[in-house]
A and B are shown apart, each in its own frame.
Chain A
Amino acid sequence: MSSQLSFSGISHRFGAQEVLTNISLEAPEGSCVALLGASGSGKSTLLRIAAGLERPSAGRVLMDGEDVSEVNAEKRETALVFQQPLLFPHLSVVDNVAFSSRMAGHSRAAAHRHACEYLELVQLAGYARRMPGQLSGGQEQRVALARALARQPRILLLDEPFSSLDLPLREDMYELLETIREQLRPTIVLVTHDRREASVLAESIAVLDHGEILQHGGVAQLHHQPASRAVNRILGGLNEVPGVVRGGAHHSPLGRVPVPADTAEGPALLVPRQESLCLTAVEGAQALGRVTQVRASGAHSLVRVALDRGPEQDQEQAAVAVEVTGSPELRPGDITGVALQNPSGWTVTR
């Protein structure tokens, strides 16, 4: 059922505006790749090109190495689940799920039997005779997923399918998608602007910004080793500590932090994630600073600290955000120590 999907040098224009620039990306067979970016970054356009709903201005779409750029959507063997369920309002749930089988020429009875298997998979077997208007938002999206899977696509394309659902329903859908992946092993390309969703569902994330892929890599790699400030920000990183890389370490108000050996020497920003920093006692602290803000966020709190200048005179003023569990007994103006939980750090220069 699943295939490898590749984009090779895809560019796309809407009139004079270029929305995608030389995109090359691979989604290995059976994997889940997330396209993460803000609105207008071009991620949905890339998905529509994969589905055959848009023809790229340049470049090729390959499925298992075969160029399918000129193949129409109906013959491309992909299925797309949109942000809205887009169930056919004149068809019952089972007829919606049986739609692709009916279009392929199967009898109504055979198509219904086939559809019922997928309705069971999404735990909606008892809703087969209902009309779309009689379903909740979550149920509608499950039916949309079952309908797409019933097409038995080589590639399953998901365009922010859970963004209109509330949080508990979203968690249910994540679990459902996990079950589907275990049972059917489809290749999935997921478009989302939610970095948490991308991290939970995908093995790798391609970060898009203004029609370009800024970085494609594993979830941990993107979070802890971003290629640029933009990637760090899109992945929710709040810290950019200016300093200098010298002698295998980054020197900044956060102190001397070892960096990978191949890091170029010179000015660079240390990008420790807020979850990788911790607050320490003042005595013997790696770095000291003054608390500027404490903001509670559920079970966690975000503490912003303006770091003291280090011993080196040329160091710039820096501030960091530290995520701590619970509610710390700190107020703005308090002095605190700050330290990295990891022995080494990661820097970016752009």
Chain B
Amino acid sequence: MLTAAPAVILVLLVLGAALIMVGLQSLGLMPVFGEPQLSLNAWADSTSLLESAGVSVYIATLSTVLSAGLGLLIAVYALTAGRGGRLVAAVSAATIPIPHLVASGAIGLLLADAGFLARLFGMPEGFPQLVATQWWTAVILEFAWKESAFVALVILGSISRSAMALSETASTLGASAWQRFCHVILPLARLPLVVSGLVVFVYTLGSYESPWLLGPLAPEPLSVRAVRLFGSTQLSARPEAMATALTSVVIAVLAIAVGLLLVRRSGDRS
């Protein structure tokens, strides 16, 4: 416990100071200019804030679900398919160091109306609109592509040593391939899946580049709204930017709390 103290104190100091400043600025108590005055003006446009929060939660939820599902499949394939599986795992892992900004650009070039795929198919009229759509398809696909590799890596790191031996044991006890997946691999992968899913949710909730590049102009997710307001030439918009960022933090903290509850319950059961 004591050995972790220096790191914890440092994190608390930086994070605490930042959050206090953000909170004070959002309440008008630390203005860029003028006298400090308690005000809820930054929180007044709650409709827009809630809409942004809804979009962010929608993108993060779908991205997390897709990443978790894909990551689990990649991990199971890597565990069971021998050399082919190891190749898939290596290719998946290679996506991790690519920055989201670059990945978003690549996905845009691939999926846009006049992108690589559309040209490959001869630019048919029925080619679906995937970039800047109201469903945030390209954004979610970009997150799913990048984060599924992360999820797979976490699962593989956690269960690869025990999963094969336990799976073989299950097969000698009469379990079919599907039963082994449901009754052995999935329960073993549950904890790393929840933990990595939680990381993906919080990350995608706060990630800016992909929604900014591949999403529609409106409505804005919290991250894009916060950056736009923060960079606005109107310094009076700064408290609104802070309120938006703080909303993102509150949602992330709630997600972490729910996730930890799930992890603890999972631990109690096993």
**Chain A residues near B (Cβ < 8 Å):** 51-53, 72-76, 78-80, 82, 84, 86, 88-90, 99-100, 102-104, 131, 147-148, 151, 157
Contact = CB atoms under 8 A, between A and B. Distances in A.
Closest 5 CB pairs of A and B: A90-B187, A73-B171, A100-B173, A80-B172, A90-B270
B169 A80 contact: yes
A73 B162 CA distance: 19
B172 A73 contact: yes
B163 to A, nearest CB: 11
Interface of B: 162, 165-166, 168-176, 179, 183-184, 187-188, 190, 269-270
A89 B269 CA distance: 10
Contact of A74 (B176, B183, B269, B270): B176
Nearest to A97: B173
Contacts of B183: 88, 99, 102-103
B169 A82 contact: yes
B172 A53 contact: yes
A74 B187 contact: no
Q: Is the interface of B mostly helix, strand, loop or mixed?
A: helix
Nearest to B169: A86
A52 B172 CA distance: 8
Contacts, number: 66
Given A73-B172, A74-B176, A86 B165 contact: yes
B171 A53 contact: yes
Nearest to A147: B173
Contacts of B170: 88, 99, 103
Given A74-B176, A82-B165, A103-B183, A89 B270 contact: yes
15 contacts: A53-B172, A73-B172, A74-B172, A74-B176, A80-B169, A84-B165, A90-B188, A99-B170, A99-B173, A99-B183, A103-B174, A103-B175, A103-B183, A104-B174, A148-B173
B134 to A, nearest CB: 41
Contacts of A51: 172
A151 B173 contact: yes
Contacts of B184: 88
Nearest to A95: B183
Nearest to A86: B169
